[in-house]
Structure 1
Amino acid sequence: MSKHRQDDIIRLGGVKGMPVRRSHRFGQKLQVDPEDLEPIIVDFIQSCKNKAKLVLIGFEMAAEWTYLSEIFPKAIPFFSAWVDLRDIAKDITSSVGVIPGLVSLLQIFGYHWKDLQPSKKDSGGGITDNAGDDAIATYALANALLNSENHERLRFRQECGRIARTFTKKKVYMVSDI
Protein backbone atom coordinates (compact mmCIF):
# COMPACT_ATOMS: atom_id res chain seq x y z
CA MET A 1 0.00 0.00 0.00
CA SER A 2 1.40 3.38 -0.90
CA LYS A 3 2.37 5.90 1.81
CA HIS A 4 -0.28 8.29 0.42
CA ARG A 5 -2.98 5.61 0.72
CA GLN A 6 -1.89 4.77 4.29
CA ASP A 7 -2.06 8.46 5.26
CA ASP A 8 -5.55 8.73 3.72
CA ILE A 9 -6.77 5.73 5.69
CA ILE A 10 -5.52 7.21 8.95
CA ARG A 11 -6.82 10.71 8.09
CA LEU A 12 -10.26 9.46 7.10
CA GLY A 13 -10.56 7.14 10.07
CA GLY A 14 -10.25 3.86 8.23
CA VAL A 15 -11.87 2.16 5.31
CA LYS A 16 -15.16 0.29 5.14
CA GLY A 17 -15.12 -2.57 7.60
CA MET A 18 -12.04 -1.26 9.45
CA PRO A 19 -12.65 -0.61 13.15
CA VAL A 20 -12.19 2.96 14.35
CA ARG A 21 -9.03 3.49 16.38
CA ARG A 22 -9.72 4.26 20.02
CA SER A 23 -8.59 7.68 21.24
CA HIS A 24 -6.57 5.94 23.96
CA ARG A 25 -4.69 2.85 22.98
CA PHE A 26 -4.27 1.51 26.51
CA GLY A 27 -6.60 1.25 29.46
CA GLN A 28 -10.31 1.55 29.92
CA LYS A 29 -11.97 4.94 30.12
CA LEU A 30 -14.08 5.36 33.23
CA GLN A 31 -15.79 8.48 34.55
CA VAL A 32 -15.95 8.61 38.32
CA ASP A 33 -16.80 11.24 40.89
CA PRO A 34 -13.68 12.16 42.89
CA GLU A 35 -15.35 11.00 46.15
CA ASP A 36 -15.78 7.49 44.70
CA LEU A 37 -12.26 7.13 43.33
CA GLU A 38 -10.48 5.68 46.38
CA PRO A 39 -12.89 2.75 46.86
CA ILE A 40 -12.73 1.98 43.13
CA ILE A 41 -8.92 1.90 43.21
CA VAL A 42 -8.86 -0.27 46.35
CA ASP A 43 -11.43 -2.64 44.80
CA PHE A 44 -9.33 -2.85 41.63
CA ILE A 45 -6.17 -3.72 43.57
CA GLN A 46 -8.05 -6.31 45.63
CA SER A 47 -9.47 -7.87 42.45
CA CYS A 48 -6.00 -8.62 41.08
CA LYS A 49 -5.31 -12.35 40.93
CA ASN A 50 -1.93 -12.23 42.64
CA LYS A 51 -2.44 -11.09 46.22
CA ALA A 52 1.29 -10.48 46.84
CA LYS A 53 2.42 -7.02 47.82
CA LEU A 54 2.75 -4.70 44.86
CA VAL A 55 5.71 -2.56 43.82
CA LEU A 56 4.84 0.93 42.64
CA ILE A 57 6.96 1.95 39.65
CA GLY A 58 6.98 5.50 38.37
CA PHE A 59 9.01 8.46 37.21
CA GLU A 60 9.66 11.41 39.55
CA MET A 61 7.47 9.96 42.25
CA ALA A 62 7.40 12.67 44.92
CA ALA A 63 4.09 14.02 43.62
CA GLU A 64 2.62 10.52 43.39
CA TRP A 65 3.46 9.74 47.02
CA THR A 66 1.98 13.02 48.18
CA TYR A 67 -1.14 12.38 46.10
CA LEU A 68 -1.48 8.78 47.32
CA SER A 69 -1.02 9.70 50.97
CA GLU A 70 -3.53 12.56 50.83
CA ILE A 71 -6.17 11.20 48.42
CA PHE A 72 -5.78 7.40 48.54
CA PRO A 73 -4.37 6.48 51.96
CA LYS A 74 -6.22 3.13 51.95
CA ALA A 75 -4.26 2.06 48.83
CA ILE A 76 -0.79 2.55 50.35
CA PRO A 77 -0.74 -0.70 52.41
CA PHE A 78 -1.00 -2.72 49.19
CA PHE A 79 2.50 -1.60 48.13
CA SER A 80 5.55 -3.25 49.66
CA ALA A 81 8.13 -1.15 47.80
CA TRP A 82 8.54 1.50 45.15
CA VAL A 83 10.98 2.25 42.35
CA ASP A 84 11.62 5.65 40.80
CA LEU A 85 12.94 5.19 37.25
CA ARG A 86 14.53 8.65 37.29
CA ASP A 87 16.75 7.46 40.16
CA ILE A 88 17.77 4.43 38.10
CA ALA A 89 18.66 6.72 35.17
CA LYS A 90 20.78 8.83 37.56
CA ASP A 91 22.53 5.71 38.82
CA ILE A 92 23.27 4.56 35.26
CA THR A 93 24.90 7.87 34.35
CA SER A 94 26.48 8.46 37.78
CA SER A 95 25.22 11.94 37.06
CA VAL A 96 24.35 14.82 39.28
CA GLY A 97 23.36 16.68 36.13
CA VAL A 98 19.91 17.02 34.67
CA ILE A 99 18.24 13.73 33.77
CA PRO A 100 15.83 14.18 30.85
CA GLY A 101 12.09 13.79 31.37
CA LEU A 102 10.16 10.60 30.69
CA VAL A 103 9.32 11.40 27.06
CA SER A 104 12.86 12.58 26.29
CA LEU A 105 14.32 9.40 27.78
CA LEU A 106 12.00 7.25 25.70
CA GLN A 107 13.04 9.20 22.59
CA ILE A 108 16.72 8.61 23.44
CA PHE A 109 15.90 4.89 23.58
CA GLY A 110 14.32 4.90 20.12
CA TYR A 111 10.62 5.53 20.68
CA HIS A 112 9.03 7.78 18.06
CA TRP A 113 7.61 11.12 19.21
CA LYS A 114 4.23 10.38 17.59
CA ASP A 115 3.85 7.40 19.93
CA LEU A 116 4.65 9.56 22.95
CA GLN A 117 2.74 12.78 22.36
CA PRO A 118 -0.26 13.45 24.59
CA SER A 119 -3.66 12.40 23.41
CA LYS A 120 -6.26 14.72 21.90
CA LYS A 121 -7.23 17.98 23.52
CA ASP A 122 -10.29 17.82 25.71
CA SER A 123 -13.32 20.07 25.24
CA GLY A 124 -11.89 22.57 27.76
CA GLY A 125 -8.83 23.15 25.58
CA GLY A 126 -6.41 21.17 27.79
CA ILE A 127 -4.67 17.91 27.10
CA THR A 128 -6.51 14.84 28.32
CA ASP A 129 -4.54 12.35 30.36
CA ASN A 130 -4.88 8.59 30.37
CA ALA A 131 -3.45 6.51 33.19
CA GLY A 132 -3.19 3.51 30.85
CA ASP A 133 -1.00 5.49 28.43
CA ASP A 134 1.13 6.67 31.37
CA ALA A 135 1.48 3.10 32.66
CA ILE A 136 2.63 1.86 29.26
CA ALA A 137 5.18 4.70 28.95
CA THR A 138 6.50 3.88 32.43
CA TYR A 139 6.69 0.17 31.56
CA ALA A 140 8.49 0.99 28.29
CA LEU A 141 11.07 3.07 30.17
CA ALA A 142 11.58 0.34 32.80
CA ASN A 143 12.12 -2.17 30.00
CA ALA A 144 14.49 0.17 28.13
CA LEU A 145 16.57 0.73 31.27
CA LEU A 146 17.22 -3.03 31.47
CA ASN A 147 19.12 -2.91 28.15
CA SER A 148 22.86 -2.19 28.57
CA GLU A 149 23.01 -0.62 25.08
CA ASN A 150 20.55 1.98 26.32
CA HIS A 151 22.83 2.66 29.29
CA GLU A 152 25.53 3.63 26.81
CA ARG A 153 23.09 5.82 24.85
CA LEU A 154 22.08 7.61 28.03
CA ARG A 155 25.68 8.11 29.18
CA PHE A 156 26.59 9.45 25.73
CA ARG A 157 23.63 11.88 25.78
CA GLN A 158 24.57 13.06 29.28
CA GLU A 159 28.19 13.60 28.25
CA CYS A 160 27.10 15.55 25.16
CA GLY A 161 24.87 17.69 27.37
CA ARG A 162 27.72 18.29 29.81
CA ILE A 163 30.02 19.38 26.99
CA ALA A 164 27.35 21.65 25.52
CA ARG A 165 26.72 23.30 28.92
CA THR A 166 30.48 23.81 29.43
CA PHE A 167 30.82 25.41 26.00
CA THR A 168 27.80 27.65 26.60
CA LYS A 169 29.10 28.77 30.00
CA LYS A 170 32.52 29.63 28.52
CA LYS A 171 30.93 31.55 25.68
CA VAL A 172 28.76 33.57 28.06
CA TYR A 173 31.74 34.17 30.35
CA MET A 174 33.89 35.41 27.47
CA VAL A 175 31.17 37.76 26.23
CA SER A 176 30.75 39.26 29.71
CA ASP A 177 34.51 39.91 29.88
CA ILE A 178 34.44 42.08 26.77
Structure 2
Amino acid sequence: MYNDKLIINEIRNGNSIVFEKVFHEHYNSLIKFANQFLLDNKISEDVVQGVFIYFWENSDSIQIKTSVKAYLYQAVKNSSLNQLRALKIRDKYQLLYLEAMLETSEPDWMNDCEIVESIKQSLQQLPKQMCRIFYKKYFQEQSIKEIAKEMSLSENTIKVQLYKGRHAIRQILELATSYFFIF
Protein backbone atom coordinates (compact mmCIF):
# COMPACT_ATOMS: atom_id res chain seq x y z
CA MET A 1 0.00 0.00 0.00
CA TYR A 2 2.84 2.34 0.91
CA ASN A 3 4.54 1.55 -2.41
CA ASP A 4 1.30 2.30 -4.28
CA LYS A 5 1.04 5.72 -2.62
CA LEU A 6 4.58 6.51 -3.78
CA ILE A 7 3.75 5.37 -7.30
CA ILE A 8 0.61 7.52 -7.41
CA ASN A 9 2.47 10.54 -6.05
CA GLU A 10 5.22 10.13 -8.65
CA ILE A 11 2.67 9.84 -11.47
CA ARG A 12 0.81 12.89 -10.14
CA ASN A 13 4.09 14.77 -10.24
CA GLY A 14 4.47 13.84 -13.92
CA ASN A 15 7.11 11.15 -13.53
CA SER A 16 6.76 9.37 -16.86
CA ILE A 17 9.39 6.75 -15.98
CA VAL A 18 7.27 5.45 -13.09
CA PHE A 19 4.15 5.56 -15.29
CA GLU A 20 5.92 3.59 -18.05
CA LYS A 21 7.04 1.01 -15.46
CA VAL A 22 3.43 0.56 -14.29
CA PHE A 23 2.28 0.41 -17.91
CA HIS A 24 4.79 -2.32 -18.90
CA GLU A 25 4.19 -4.26 -15.70
CA HIS A 26 0.41 -4.56 -16.20
CA TYR A 27 -0.29 -3.99 -19.91
CA ASN A 28 -0.26 -7.60 -21.19
CA SER A 29 -2.19 -9.06 -18.27
CA LEU A 30 -4.81 -6.30 -18.56
CA ILE A 31 -5.27 -7.07 -22.26
CA LYS A 32 -5.85 -10.75 -21.42
CA PHE A 33 -8.30 -9.69 -18.72
CA ALA A 34 -10.21 -7.37 -21.09
CA ASN A 35 -10.23 -10.07 -23.75
CA GLN A 36 -12.20 -12.33 -21.39
CA PHE A 37 -15.06 -9.84 -21.74
CA LEU A 38 -14.61 -8.57 -25.28
CA LEU A 39 -13.31 -11.64 -27.16
CA ASP A 40 -11.39 -9.33 -29.51
CA ASN A 41 -7.71 -8.61 -28.95
CA LYS A 42 -7.67 -5.30 -30.86
CA ILE A 43 -10.64 -3.89 -28.95
CA SER A 44 -9.08 -5.15 -25.71
CA GLU A 45 -5.86 -3.29 -26.52
CA ASP A 46 -7.86 -0.12 -27.22
CA VAL A 47 -9.69 -0.42 -23.90
CA VAL A 48 -6.48 -0.95 -21.91
CA GLN A 49 -4.73 1.92 -23.67
CA GLY A 50 -7.74 4.12 -22.96
CA VAL A 51 -7.57 3.23 -19.26
CA PHE A 52 -3.88 4.09 -19.11
CA ILE A 53 -4.42 7.39 -20.92
CA TYR A 54 -7.20 8.27 -18.49
CA PHE A 55 -4.98 7.22 -15.56
CA TRP A 56 -2.13 9.47 -16.75
CA GLU A 57 -4.28 12.48 -17.64
CA ASN A 58 -6.46 12.36 -14.52
CA SER A 59 -4.01 11.13 -11.90
CA ASP A 60 -4.60 14.27 -9.82
CA SER A 61 -8.27 13.49 -9.29
CA ILE A 62 -8.19 9.68 -9.12
CA GLN A 63 -8.78 8.24 -5.67
CA ILE A 64 -7.13 4.84 -5.29
CA LYS A 65 -8.23 3.12 -2.09
CA THR A 66 -6.62 -0.29 -2.56
CA SER A 67 -3.74 -0.65 -5.02
CA VAL A 68 -2.77 0.64 -8.45
CA LYS A 69 -3.16 -2.88 -9.82
CA ALA A 70 -6.68 -3.25 -8.36
CA TYR A 71 -7.63 0.18 -9.69
CA LEU A 72 -6.39 -0.70 -13.20
CA TYR A 73 -8.23 -4.04 -13.25
CA GLN A 74 -11.47 -2.44 -12.07
CA ALA A 75 -11.11 0.36 -14.64
CA VAL A 76 -10.49 -2.17 -17.45
CA LYS A 77 -13.48 -4.23 -16.33
CA ASN A 78 -15.77 -1.18 -16.28
CA SER A 79 -14.47 0.06 -19.61
CA SER A 80 -14.90 -3.40 -21.17
CA LEU A 81 -18.49 -3.64 -19.93
CA ASN A 82 -19.20 -0.16 -21.30
CA GLN A 83 -17.72 -1.26 -24.63
CA LEU A 84 -20.00 -4.32 -24.64
CA ARG A 85 -23.04 -2.16 -23.93
CA ALA A 86 -22.09 0.13 -26.80
CA LEU A 87 -21.65 -2.85 -29.14
CA LYS A 88 -24.96 -4.34 -28.06
CA ILE A 89 -26.74 -1.04 -28.71
CA ARG A 90 -25.05 -0.74 -32.11
CA ASP A 91 -25.92 -4.35 -33.01
CA LYS A 92 -29.55 -3.85 -31.95
CA TYR A 93 -29.67 -0.72 -34.09
CA GLN A 94 -28.21 -2.65 -37.04
CA LEU A 95 -30.73 -5.42 -36.52
CA LEU A 96 -33.62 -2.91 -36.52
CA TYR A 97 -32.13 -1.27 -39.61
CA LEU A 98 -31.89 -4.67 -41.31
CA GLU A 99 -35.51 -5.44 -40.50
CA ALA A 100 -36.61 -2.08 -41.89
CA MET A 101 -34.61 -2.65 -45.06
CA LEU A 102 -36.19 -6.07 -45.57
CA GLU A 103 -39.67 -4.63 -45.12
CA THR A 104 -39.17 -1.80 -47.60
CA SER A 105 -39.72 -2.10 -51.31
CA GLU A 106 -36.65 0.06 -51.97
CA PRO A 107 -33.60 -1.89 -53.18
CA ASP A 108 -31.18 0.63 -51.59
CA TRP A 109 -30.25 -1.79 -48.81
CA MET A 110 -28.51 -3.95 -51.41
CA ASN A 111 -25.72 -1.32 -51.46
CA ASP A 112 -24.88 -1.95 -47.81
CA CYS A 113 -22.33 -4.80 -47.94
CA GLU A 114 -22.55 -5.52 -44.22
CA ILE A 115 -26.31 -6.05 -44.35
CA VAL A 116 -26.10 -8.17 -47.49
CA GLU A 117 -23.38 -10.36 -45.94
CA SER A 118 -25.37 -10.81 -42.71
CA ILE A 119 -28.44 -11.85 -44.67
CA LYS A 120 -26.50 -14.27 -46.90
CA GLN A 121 -25.00 -15.97 -43.85
CA SER A 122 -28.43 -16.23 -42.25
CA LEU A 123 -29.98 -17.60 -45.44
CA GLN A 124 -27.77 -20.68 -45.22
CA GLN A 125 -29.65 -21.71 -42.08
CA LEU A 126 -33.12 -21.54 -43.67
CA PRO A 127 -34.92 -24.49 -45.29
CA LYS A 128 -33.92 -24.83 -48.98
CA GLN A 129 -37.23 -23.71 -50.49
CA MET A 130 -37.54 -20.73 -48.16
CA CYS A 131 -33.95 -19.77 -48.94
CA ARG A 132 -34.58 -19.96 -52.71
CA ILE A 133 -37.74 -17.84 -52.44
CA PHE A 134 -36.01 -15.27 -50.27
CA TYR A 135 -33.03 -15.11 -52.62
CA LYS A 136 -35.22 -14.69 -55.69
CA LYS A 137 -37.26 -11.93 -54.06
CA TYR A 138 -34.50 -9.87 -52.45
CA PHE A 139 -31.38 -10.60 -54.46
CA GLN A 140 -32.79 -11.27 -57.93
CA GLU A 141 -35.60 -8.74 -57.36
CA GLN A 142 -38.29 -11.00 -58.78
CA SER A 143 -41.90 -10.26 -58.01
CA ILE A 144 -44.04 -12.59 -55.94
CA LYS A 145 -46.00 -13.45 -59.06
CA GLU A 146 -42.83 -14.36 -60.99
CA ILE A 147 -41.52 -16.52 -58.16
CA ALA A 148 -44.85 -18.31 -57.79
CA LYS A 149 -45.01 -19.07 -61.49
CA GLU A 150 -41.38 -20.21 -61.72
CA MET A 151 -41.63 -22.48 -58.67
CA SER A 152 -45.19 -23.69 -59.40
CA LEU A 153 -46.46 -22.43 -56.05
CA SER A 154 -49.31 -20.12 -55.11
CA GLU A 155 -48.60 -16.43 -54.51
CA ASN A 156 -49.94 -16.87 -51.00
CA THR A 157 -47.37 -19.60 -50.31
CA ILE A 158 -44.62 -17.27 -51.51
CA LYS A 159 -45.86 -14.49 -49.23
CA VAL A 160 -46.00 -16.84 -46.24
CA GLN A 161 -42.50 -18.17 -46.99
CA LEU A 162 -41.14 -14.61 -47.26
CA TYR A 163 -42.78 -13.65 -43.99
CA LYS A 164 -41.42 -16.74 -42.24
CA GLY A 165 -38.00 -16.16 -43.84
CA ARG A 166 -37.82 -12.59 -42.53
CA HIS A 167 -38.88 -13.80 -39.09
CA ALA A 168 -36.31 -16.63 -39.13
CA ILE A 169 -33.51 -14.31 -40.26
CA ARG A 170 -34.44 -11.84 -37.51
CA GLN A 171 -34.19 -14.64 -34.93
CA ILE A 172 -30.90 -15.93 -36.35
CA LEU A 173 -29.38 -12.45 -36.25
CA GLU A 174 -30.69 -11.79 -32.73
CA LEU A 175 -29.09 -15.02 -31.52
CA ALA A 176 -25.85 -14.20 -33.30
CA THR A 177 -25.60 -10.73 -31.77
CA SER A 178 -26.68 -11.71 -28.25
CA TYR A 179 -24.17 -14.58 -28.16
CA PHE A 180 -21.31 -12.12 -27.80
CA PHE A 181 -22.90 -10.14 -25.00
CA ILE A 182 -23.58 -12.70 -22.32
CA PHE A 183 -21.75 -11.76 -19.13
> TM-score, structure 2 length as denominator?
0.26
Max radius of gyration: which structure? Answer: 2
> TM-score, structure 1 length as denominator?
0.26
Higher helix content, 1 or 2 = 2
Bigger relative CO (Cα 8 Å, ≥ 6 apart): 1
